Amino acid sequence: MPTEPLSQKEIEDRLRELPGWTLEGDRIARAYRLPTHFAAAAMAVHIARIQDELNHHSDLTLGYNTLALSVNSHDAGGAVTEKDFDLAQRVEQIAPAHGAR
């Protein structure tokens, strides 16, 4: 069930498959560095479209040439669920095309 809270071990196992992603409190998080400010803003727009497609939304922080995401599942009382990792996987898939590291 994608909205069931994951156990600490399940979270750790999934994070091992997502280099750069970490558990920050009760959220999974990743910070990207982009070639330019505009590239970072463009990636934020792309992520917003993915999030609307998945109906699952992270907190996005746009910096000078950085983009930081953190996410958990409100519908699961703020726990980390499969939906958070589904979003993380989708963002990882588009990151290289944006020049995100």
Ligand X SMILES: C[C@H](O)[C@H](O)[C@H]1CNC2=NC(N)=NC(=O)C2=N1
Residues that bind ligand X (CB under 6 A): 55-57, 71, 73-75
Q: How far is the CB of 17 from ligand X (least distance, A)?
A: 20
Query: Which whole-number Å values give the CA distances from 38 to 47, 64, 84, in the listed order?
Result: 14, 9, 26
Q: How far is the CB of 27 from ligand X (least distance, A)?
A: 9
Q: Looking at beta carbons only, is 30 or 56 nearer to ligand X?
A: 56
Task: Give the Cα separation of 20 and 67 in Å (integer).
Answer: 13
Q: How far is the CB of 76 from ligand X (least distance, A)?
A: 7
H/E element holding 30?
A: strand 27-33
Q: Looking at beta carbons only, is 5 or 99 nearer to ligand X?
A: 5
Q: How far is the CB of 55 from ligand X (least distance, A)?
A: 5
Q: Looking at beta carbons only, is 36 or 61 nearer to ligand X?
A: 61
Task: Give the Cα separation of 7 and 92 in Å (integer).
Answer: 22
Q: Looking at beta carbons only, is 13 or 52 nearer to ligand X?
A: 52
Task: Give the Cα separation of 80 and 84 in Å (integer).
Answer: 6
Residue with smallest beta-carbon separation from ligand X: 75
Radius of gyration of the chain, Cα coordinates, nearest whole angstrom? 13
